[in-house]
Structure 1
Amino acid sequence: MPVPAIEIIDNPSVAHNDGDSRNATRVKVSVVGAGGGIGQSLSLLLKVNLNNLLANDPSANASIELSLFDVNLENLKGVTADLSHINNKIRLQVTDNLAENVKDSNLIIIAAGVPRKPGMTRDDLFNINAGIIKNIATDINNANACNSQNSGNSSFILLISNPLNSLLPVLQNSLNENWIGKCFGITELDLVRASTFLEPLLQSNSGNNAEMPYIPVIGGHSGDTILPVFSQITANNFTSSLYDLVRGPDSQIIRKLINRVQYGGDEIVEAKNGKGSATLSMAYSAYRIAEQFTALLLNQVKTVESILYTTIVGKDFETPLSTVEGAAELHDQYLERRLKFFATACTVEKLSGLTKIDNKIIGNLNAFEKDNLLPTCIDSLQINIEKGLSF
């Protein structure tokens, strides 16, 4: 028997006492695939940590509703019941109806899909997950109008599901045009890995570990489409190049670091004896992005400034977005008019969505990154993108 669409509320006195509803800011966050390996951990992080945004809200009149959906109804019901025992003000909803899950949602996080299993080819994985993503897009089109400019509200979609390079094109192609500039793929795990893997090397050289280093990672989200920009490290308010630190772009240290970031997921699969992939670190990375968008929706920040995998062209998938500063430059100049999607530094506003692409990172690549890493990235990513658009 399917579980009915029910709402589990932690604290009825909180959930039904939103103060003056005319001035209240309500944000609905939907997780599609909440019962899976990533979805469960992500739902926990959202339930626990988004409460801090409410605690710090200056209006004291905001509310966050966390809506969970999964096709595995047994997992879904158990996860939601478990989360409902956490004592904070985040409201919980569980439903067996995807359309209800995404209806009127301000932030839809898609972690749905199947992991790659032994004997499954990459084509098998893509075909299964692309079908799932396409069905989700249909429900979103029917249930969520993405009206922002007129209503003062806004909606965004964050995609986690793999293969991300191809699935975001499937999703964007299946959604109506209102979602252009409001639908993004999460590649944050690549930045997290780059920071994690580099930090011991910096520590051994400088001994200063006041903060974790930040390394921009652009391009795509698999293999050689991932372009870690180790020439632009930021740490302790200081920008430096790893290529200067180890003296020369041909250093094996840098090559090994690049390879480890590009294929870091293989380490997890091997450690789990082929029975799983990166779930905890992916959930953590996805939460980092989701928190920024939730703060934006709560009017606590004016923009989201982050590296996101995004379309840089309009619904015709040919013409660069004229309303997005830097889109034409990225598409025509740096990507040679070959790519329609790219992970890069984005500025996102609540009502307008994507408003700016900052090309400083790609424009300041060193010779090795520009002449060796970028061409390979473009070649592979172009194939991935076209595969998604042709599905």
Structure 2
Amino acid sequence: MMFARVARRTFTSSAVNPYKVTVLGACGGIGQPLSLLLKLNDKVTDLRLYDIKNAKGVATDISHIPTNSTVTGFSAEEADGLKNALKDTELVLIPAGVPRKPGMTRDDLFNINAGIVYDLATAAAENAPNAAVLVISNPVNSTVPIVAEVFKKKGVYNKKKLFGVTTLDSIRASRFISQVANTNPTQEHVSVVGGHSGITIIPLLSQTKYANTLSKEQRDALIHRIQFGGDEVVKAKNGGGSATLSMAQAGAKFANAVLSGFAGEKNVTQASYVDSPLYKSEGIEFFASPVTLGPDGVQEIHPIGDISAEESELLKECKETLKKNIDKGIKFADSKQ
């Protein structure tokens, strides 16, 4: 019997700039699919997964996927596990924390998740002070200020490298508006600004091509669905958790954007909740708007642009709530001194 000869290939990374990436909370509902998606990203060649326990198992599982990256698991059960997971890393993603349950708001999670984020931020400030930090743990409106205060205490705060991941609001908006317009969601874009919780989420429908075709009923329903889309998932999972898979995709998408900026790609712009000058004069230190990313992280923070009278009212309500959320995070960090 004759057999065709199979050519032997040598695979090399297609990534021009390989990066070290760490996921803190890698074994959770968001952490596992997020880690999987990062394993598939050719910009990531050194992936570190950390959790209280079982990170080595998740790392071993993911490591069998044939992409040109190494995956290592670290746990709190081993000496210097967290320290080693963070050493020399360039990008830190924090999805650690407890998920929402039916009837819970993101703010209900605060007392538990704030402490988790504070401790992880302390470790990151001490062991990876130059890394970009992407905060996924809810409530993002408050947890991002906590991370900022921790880094300030340690004298290593770089506002260009701290991001609250609000990408889920953007991808939901694209999907939901496509369902109303009966179009391809991959071709839709909705600018979503403000924060990442309920009424602080402002989809700027007036800036879309549907501004003059949506009825008031459609517009109101869309805004509400984008603001409270997470509730759909919590209810549908019937107490089994919150948005994990879609959040993992959102986190991976934003992480790729940050790495693309690091690599020098041009015109990489995504919405993110950052230390922003837009409304700082009103006492609002952080705000989500389109951000252009570059080699040093934030390259440019864009204003929200022209908005409708209705959206101006939404913005007013957003600011009131956002300021309270930010102050809550700062006060929590200060209480830990």
Same fold (TM over 0.5): yes
Q: Does structure 2 conserve the Cα–Cα contact (< 8 Å) formed by 1:303 and 1:350?
A: no
Give the structure 2 partner of residue 221 of structure 1.
196
Deviation at 1:227, TM superposition (A): 0.2
Deviations 1:263-306 (A, max 9, x none): 00010011110221000000011111111122233x25146411
Deviations 1:73-121 (A, max 9, x none): 12x2221111111112111111121111111111101111112346978
| Residue number among 63, 69, 72 corresponding to 2:50 in the alignment | 69
Residues 270-285 of structure 1 correspond to what in structure 2 (within 5 A)? Answer: 270-285=235-250
| Residue number among 321, 331, 338 corresponding to 2:279 in the alignment | 331
Deviation at 1:219, TM superposition (A): 0.2
- The 1-side partners of 2:269 and 2:218 are apart by 30
Q: Does structure 1 conserve the Cα–Cα contact (< 8 Å) formed by 2:93 and 2:133?
A: yes
| Residue number among 129, 132, 155 corresponding to 2:113 in the alignment | 129
Residues 309-320 of structure 1 correspond to what in structure 2 (within 5 A)? Answer: 309-312=273-276
Does residue 232 (structure 1) correspond to residue 197 (structure 2)? The answer is no
Does residue 161 (structure 1) correspond to residue 137 (structure 2)? The answer is yes
Deviations 1:223-265 (A, max 9, x none): 00000001112xxxxxx2x331135xxx111101100000000
Does residue 258 (structure 1) correspond to residue 255 (structure 2)? The answer is no
Residues 234-383 of structure 1 correspond to what in structure 2 (within 5 A)? Answer: 240=209, 242-246=210-214, 251-297=216-262, 299=263, 301-302=265-266, 304-312=268-276, 327=277, 330-331=278-279, 337-351=282-296, 353-359=297-303, 362-370=304-312, 372-383=313-324
Q: Does structure 1 conserve the Cα–Cα contact (< 8 Å) formed by 2:107 and 2:139?
A: no
Which secondary structure state, in structure 2, belongs to the residue aligned with residue 29 of structure 1?
A: strand
- The 2-side partners of 1:254 and 1:199 are apart by 13
Of all paired residues, the percent bearing the same amino acid is 41
Give the structure 2 partner of residue 98 of structure 1.
82
Deviations 1:105-158 (A, max 9, x none): 111011111123469786662111111111111111211231xxxxxxxx2111
Q: Partner amino acid for 1:45?
A: L
TM-score (norm 1): 0.75
- The 1-side partners of 2:142 and 2:329 are apart by 4
- Is there any run of 5+ residues in structure 1 with no aligned partner, and where? 1-12, 19-23, 54-62, 147-154, 234-239, 313-326
Which secondary structure state, in structure 2, belongs to the residue aligned with residue 37 of structure 1?
A: coil
TM-score (norm 2): 0.86
- Is there any run of 5+ residues in structure 2 with no aligned partner, and where? 1-9, 76-80, 333-337
